[in-house]
Amino acid sequence: MMRVMELKLALKQRALDIGFDLVGIAPLVPGKDLVFARQWVERGYSGEMHYLANPRRFDPRLVLASAKSVVCVGLVYNAPLPYSTEVRSQKSEVRRKTAAEPGGVPHFEFPVSPRPKEGGQDARAPRARISRYAWGRDYHEIVRAKLEKLRAAVEKLAPDVEIRAFVDTGPIVERAFARSSGLGWMGKNTCIINEAKGSWFFLGVLLTSLELEPDVPAADRCGSCTACLEACPTGALVEPYVMDASRCISYLTIELKGSIPEQSRSAIGANVFGCDICQDVCPWNMKSSSQLPVLSRQQRKGAAPVMPEFQPLQVEVRAPAPDTWPLTPESPDTRHLIPSTFSLFSPRLEALASLTEEGFRRVFARSPIRRAKYRGWLRNLCVAMGNSGEPRRIPWLEEKARDADPIIREHAAWALQRLQT
């Protein structure tokens, strides 16, 4: 078998050859990170994500008894499109506030079309926000396939090795090991930030029985910056490096299966699946994503990948029939605003609302969005429509207010009250 250092270098080169953008080696005990992870759960910050209390998450030897090292990889998923904080907004009573302003939580105006070439009513149609990581194919599939290739390569280098691979689905605190492996530092927004790549990358890990020399953890470069804390609409970042997940828009629109707390709904704004604001405002991601293709690799922060799988999905839809799209004399027919195809980057609310349950399952069969399920999707759309300030959403909401599901009825009623007062 190769010497340990040669094996480490060969393993890391294989990871890069397979297509990962980052790779590092972490020790089995990544400093105090796992202790912090346990305390974070004990403080009640995990909301209804009870699986995060699994004792195996805090001791990798309970997952693989022979484990001695952790191989961490990162795969960039950024796309050369504007951030949610760069999308042009329509005038409304909702504006961004800083945490220093009395009486308000910070959030952003409701977005409209980011494409200057679009004109008229179409260009002013309110848009929804979908988290950047969910624009394309399900990252679990993509990262897992690459990890399996890396596992096979390691097994060739060291035939007797034991390995377990994980992509955000097993009892592993990936961010703890990613920080310890040198992939990046833990930002004040709790994301792993790499000095060259920013924070737009997925994580994967290999638990291995190989005893490899760990890499040096990255230095914390957040400094005195508090942009993410000031920008969070719901105040989920309760202090630097600490997030109350139960207040995070991503949790509220994806992980939470019941009612969204009423006090949080207006702050959700146009977000129908996830939220990127704390990453969008991070200086380490502030090279405008629309400029990424013309920047050199050395200049990029939050570098864009060449992988088409992570680019925004183009969705094909059929305009609803008259008997399935609610109309009233007071509200214009908005079916003409539903295109035959649309992108998951800044999509129109009408387009998202046009998806039937069968259409939702078909379109998002290989997308992270399927995690919200159709019930959560409609719930989130009700909230976004209520925040849009657009009375033409009322017929659709009135229909949902009669839905058989009490969660959908509740959120539709809230949205109607917001639009009618």
Instruction: Identify the active-site residue in 168, 220, 403, 405.
Output: 168
Q: What Cα–Cα distance (Å) separates residue 96 from each residue in 48, 57, 89, 92, 228?
A: 29, 37, 11, 11, 13
Q: Which residues of the chain have pLDDT under 50?
A: 89-108, 115-121, 288-301, 327
Q: Which residues of 210-242 are buried (b: 16+ CB within 10 A; e: fewer)?
A: bebebbebbeeebeebebbbbbbbbebbeeebb
Residue 3 has a pLDDT of 82
The stretches of 303-402 forming alpha helices (DSSP H) are 349-353, 357-363, 373-388, 394-400
Query: What residue spans of 199-257 are helical by DSSP H?
Result: 227-231, 249-250
Question: What is the pLDDT, as a whole number, of residue 4?
Answer: 80
- Dihedral through CA 40, CA 167, CA 213, CA 298, nearest 10? -100
Known catalytic residue at 276? no
In this prediction, residue 340 carries a pLDDT of 77
Label residue 288 exposed, middle or buried (CB < 10 Å: 0-12, 13-18, 19+): middle
SS3 55: helix
Nearest by Cα to 392 from 348, 356, 361, 360? 348
DSSP state, 25? E
Distance between CA atoms of residues 203 and 219, nearest Å = 19
What confidence tens digit (pLDDT) does each residue in 250-295 have? 999 999 999 999 999 999 999 999 999 999 999 999 853 444 443 3
- Nearest CA to 398 out of 388, 380, 411, 387 is that of 411
150-164 confidence digits (pLDDT tens) = 999 999 999 999 999
Adjacent-strand bridge partners of 205? 72, 166
How confident is the model over 169-194, as pLDDT tens digits? 889 999 999 999 999 999 999 999 99
pTM score = 0.85
pLDDT given for residue 277 in this prediction: 97
pLDDT at residue number 84: 81
